[in-house]
Chain A
């Protein structure tokens, strides 16, 4: 289990407790975090589950695989610290993670 803070597109801070055994995307959708569209439901096909990761966390997340890297390269609003939340499983190690949801996923 991990407590993750999402900054929603309108600036609202949402602290959410996410159980393991799911991706950050699934947890965020279940908690109705705004702005995580996740159109493909986690198939790494849509890049609409993107977030910006707080600087101090970038190196602490599991590395991107080739598919995530390639999807991100062509994702609108992408930045250096962008990740696809459907590709990151929730683990205890993510406790305290802070991410920001982009203004739009399209």
Chain B
């Protein structure tokens, strides 16, 4: 007798939601169960540090799909339930209540979690991270004009939070260990711009600050102290890869997957923030934390599971909103040998930086430059060779850059 197909997804975030939608489109024949440890339908995280924090958007509007959608496509939802163990020999997962669910295919979409720091004696000073609806609710409850907020880490989440907080009249200090902000994501020209931007808006930025600890009412660094009523730790994210590692799957700063998002066990896939994959654009393995990556890997895994041809690869992209400034990044600037600036990063709030390697456009950071961003996505996909002088020449319209 043939064994019926049953697919289990662990983690109910944005990658998982896209996966079940794609499986339905791709005609997966079998039972699908989605298990997530948060008490919410899969939701979008980007607004948490943006419009949810400002209050413009309520958390109930973040769901990727309504409950009825999962019903319609026949996906069983097990929310507020955590998978504790994968047994690869018996092809079962064990939940925290002890129940077991069998699978023929397993997809790990466990995401990542905010990195915490071993800070001593947090005392009366409230310390937060920003990753989930629960986190943002806790944080918002503490927001009040005049309070001193110290953000540890000048990455994009910390800076988005700083932007919202300073607009709500908190006194905001950002402590960054590196010599520049958002160093992992953008080039130095763009970092300088964001430092100026936050300075103009009234945020205090301290580069090269190594935090030693949090004491009652202040954050202590080597050589300085910063008054703090609340502290946000914005120190990046770590992949939720323990479940995979404990079951013997290959992990290395994430769950190692092949081009089809298969782990070292061919019936187990991993997608989204928790997965690390060889990237053809940079020629090495990397783990991306972005909505686009979560959606794309979900579509790739679904195609593989359903025996369909892989969808055409897209150029990775990301965005960040701070004040009235929209940053959009496309491509991966790894190993660029030339950066071309279009517009003036030292004045105003609109310019773009193009990154080239061997004369080929590989990435763009576009600051309030939608045309440059959209055009670059096409040019990067086509591995276009463009004369750098033309890229930097504002008298040439963006749409003519291709020619």
Residues of A whose CB lies within 8 Å of any CB of B are 22, 26, 29-32, 39-41, 43-47, 67, 70-71, 73-75, 106
- Residue in B62, B292, B312 whose CB lies within 8 Å of A39: B292
In the complex, chain B residues whose CB is within 8 Å of the CB of A71 = 370, 374
Whether A32 pairs with B69 at a CB distance below 8 angstroms is yes
The distance from the CB of A44 to the nearest CB of chain B, in whole angstroms, is: 8
Find the A residue at minimum CB distance from B326.
A45
In the complex, chain B residues whose CB is within 8 Å of the CB of A106 = 312, 314
- Residue in A26, A31, A70 whose CB lies within 8 Å of B371: A70
In the complex, chain B residues whose CB is within 8 Å of the CB of A46 = 317
Whether B65 pairs with A43 at a CB distance below 8 angstroms is no
- Residue in A29, A47, A74 whose CB lies within 8 Å of B399: A74
Q: Mark B291-302, 1 if CB is under 8 A from A, else 0.
A: 110010000000
Whether A74 pairs with B371 at a CB distance below 8 angstroms is yes
In the complex, chain A residues whose CB is within 8 Å of the CB of B64 = 29
The distance from the CB of B270 to the nearest CB of chain A, in whole angstroms, is: 21
In the complex, chain B residues whose CB is within 8 Å of the CB of A73 = 371, 374, 399
Whether A43 pairs with B319 at a CB distance below 8 angstroms is yes
Q: How many residues of B contact A (CB 8 A)?
A: 30
The distance from the CB of A41 to the nearest CB of chain B, in whole angstroms, is: 5
Find the B residue at minimum CB distance from A69.
B370
In the complex, chain B residues whose CB is within 8 Å of the CB of A39 = 291-292, 295
CA distance A23 to B177 in the complex (A): 40
Find the B residue at minimum CB distance from A26.
B61
Whether A74 pairs with B378 at a CB distance below 8 angstroms is yes
CA distance A43 to B46 in the complex (A): 9
Q: CB of B66 within 8 A of chain A?
A: yes
- Residue in A30, A31, A45 whose CB lies within 8 Å of B328: A45
What 6 pairs between A and B have smallest CB-CB spacing? A74-B374, A70-B370, A45-B319, A41-B44, A32-B69, A30-B66
In the complex, chain A residues whose CB is within 8 Å of the CB of B399 = 73-74
CA distance A73 to B369 in the complex (A): 13
Contact A41 to B65, CB < 8 A, known contacts A47-B374, A73-B371, A74-B371:
no
The distance from the CB of B299 to the nearest CB of chain A, in whole angstroms, is: 10
Q: Mark B24-49, 1 if CB is under 8 A from A, else 0.
A: 00000000000000000000101100
In the complex, chain B residues whose CB is within 8 Å of the CB of A70 = 370-371, 374
Whether A74 pairs with B319 at a CB distance below 8 angstroms is no
Q: CB of B321 within 8 A of chain A?
A: yes
**20 more CB-based (< 8 A) A-B contacts, given A31-B66, A45-B326, A74-B378:** A26-B61, A30-B66, A32-B66, A32-B68, A39-B291, A39-B295, A40-B319, A41-B44, A41-B46, A41-B47, A41-B62, A43-B46, A44-B370, A45-B319, A47-B374, A70-B371, A70-B374, A71-B374, A74-B371, A106-B312
CA distance A40 to B318 in the complex (A): 9
Q: Mark B351-394, 1 if CB is under 8 A from A, else 0.
A: 00000000000000000001100110110000000000000000
Of residues 315 to 346 in B, which have CB atoms within 8 Å of A's CB atoms?
A: 317, 319, 321, 326, 328
The distance from the CB of B73 to the nearest CB of chain A, in whole angstroms, is: 9
CA distance A74 to B379 in the complex (A): 12
In the complex, chain A residues whose CB is within 8 Å of the CB of B375 = 74
CA distance A14 to B72 in the complex (A): 15
